[in-house]
Amino acid sequence: MNNKGTPVITEMKVIPVAGYDSMLMTLSGAHAPYFTRNIVILTDETGNTGIGEVHGGDDITKALESYRDYVIGQEIGNYKTIVNTIKNKGTANCDNDGEGLQGLDLKNLKFVVHAETAVECAMLDLLGKFMNLPVCALLGDGQQRDEIQILGYLFYIHDKDKVDLPYLDESDSSEEWFRVRRKVALTPQSIVEQAKAAKAKYGFKDFKLKAGVLPGAEEMEAIKALKKEMPDARINIDPNGAWTLKEAIELCKDKHGTLTYVEDPCGPENGFSSREVMCEFKNATQFQVATNMIATDWRQFYHASALKAVDIVLADPHFWTMNGSVRMAQVLNDWGLTWGSHSNNHFDISLAIFAHCAAAAPGEITPMDTHWIWQDGQDLCSNAMKIKDGKIKIPDRPGLGIDIDIDKVMKANELYNKMDNHDRDDSMAMQHIIPGWKFDSKKPTLVR
């Protein structure tokens, strides 16, 4: 027993897992029937368990496995040094072209994701339990709030019955939201139906529509329909840079009072980077702009801020690490800008990661987005955080405040092991809808 410092880590498990998804549409294509994640479980000498979650894919699993020798035998209180060590000495993904997510090419996602976040989270979970403090109290300047406002993340959904793929069917569910989240949604009316069902289930007061699927003018009709149905809601749109600068200005210039802010409206064009183009969009429309594409690391953020291209940085802790995300929140608050968090398909451990980072972020943060509502019912923990009245309440428990259910994890691992390919590929399902479909960062998914 180590009596002079914090407990020592004695075991590290890396367990790749999979879950079920809807046929959600984005600029990159259609979500496949399954999504993958990696779970890290650390055990210390006291018998406590710490957990973390990060994106899936074989490259990220390989990176996590390479960290083991740098983690086992280390004190949990030394987690910052350990995270820095594994970042610099663990297996790194090669062939990074530096493009990042400016053009939303998902093959670059593995270069943006920080696999070490899963280890960082698991160590913070252990340290919080040792110190009898929630993880958010260990980040930045400590816990800033007890509750986090969450927005309802809305998607266009294609018809799963028109493709020969094993999407879930929840048409006989007693829960309206569970039925709606698997239904076709390609019209303004169906998007409004989706929002109403999500609001009834989770109490959302704010919404974001994932665009880049239909012609921009049609997507704006959905935004107008949402605002008419819910006039007090903050409503945002995210086309992932699909629109040209000219189109983005035309679509948004008269939407003050309808849209609260616009997320990544346009991308690189005519030799100019996304940061330069979005600066011009801001100047032309006077809209606040958010991003999870043009400021995914500190070097990118320097250039984005120098150009005043963004007002809201959606600092996903899986891209920034948890400490990095909260450090970004501190900088943004000091500079009079705004912090928020982007999400991807994830389980409930990542939901807790988002919540604790948001709880530690200072200032007036923007409502946090999450995919968890699309995966609700597949939790890997016995007491997952829940969204109620549009908010997540930080548990009155140390660490993350949630407990892993290893039986559920291993069941998700079984599903993972049945998959032929573990890397995200949104083009696969699109081949069933539009034969020969290929990703084009300047063409909405269904505009071919």
- What are 156-203's pLDDT values in tens digits? 999 999 999 999 999 999 999 999 999 999 999 999 999 999 999 999
CATH 3.20.20.120 occupies which residues in the chain?
Answer: 140-399
Whether 160 sits among the annotated catalytic residues: the reply is no
Domain 9-137+407-417 has CATH 3.30.390.10: yes
- Of the residues 31, 55, 342, 371, only one is catalytic, namely 342
Per-residue pLDDT at 111: 62
Q: Where are the alpha helices (DSSP H) in 307-379?
A: 317-320, 322-334, 348-360, 372-375
Q: How many CB atoms lie within 10 A of CB 3?
A: 4
Distance of CA 57 to the CA centre of its chain: 16
Report the distance separating Cα 82 and Cα 73, nearest Å: 11
- Of the residues 87, 158, 199, 210, only one is catalytic, namely 210
Would you state the structure tokens that stand for residue 446, as one six-digit string?
Answer: 């269904």
SS3 state at 304: helix
Residues of the chain scoring pLDDT < 70? 1-3, 90-111
**Cα atoms found within 13 Å of the Cα of residue 220, Cβ hemisphere only:** 18
Per-residue pLDDT at 134: 98
Question: Does residue 136 contact residue 317 with C-beta atoms inside 8 Å?
Answer: no
140-399 CATH choice from 3.40.190.290, 3.30.429.10, 3.10.20.30, 3.20.20.120:
3.20.20.120
**Three-class HEC string of 36-81:** EEEEEEEEECCCCEEEEEEECCHHHHHHHHHCHHHHCCCEHHHHHH
Report the distance separating Cα 78 and Cα 318, nearest Å: 20
Report the distance separating Cα 232 and Cα 400, nearest Å: 33
250-292 per-position pLDDT tens digit = 999 999 999 999 999 999 999 999 999 999 999 999 999 999 9
Per-residue pLDDT at 292: 92
pTM: predicted TM-score of the whole model, two decimal places: 0.94
**Cα atoms found within 13 Å of the Cα of residue 18, Cβ hemisphere only:** 20
CATH 3.30.390.10 occupies which residues in the chain?
Answer: 9-137+407-417
Report the distance separating Cα 141 and Cα 360, nearest Å: 7
Whether 342 sits among the annotated catalytic residues: the reply is yes
Per-residue pLDDT at 34: 96
Which residue is it, tokens 């968890």?
372
Per-residue pLDDT at 86: 86
Nearest to 71 by CA among 37, 101, 116, 104: 116
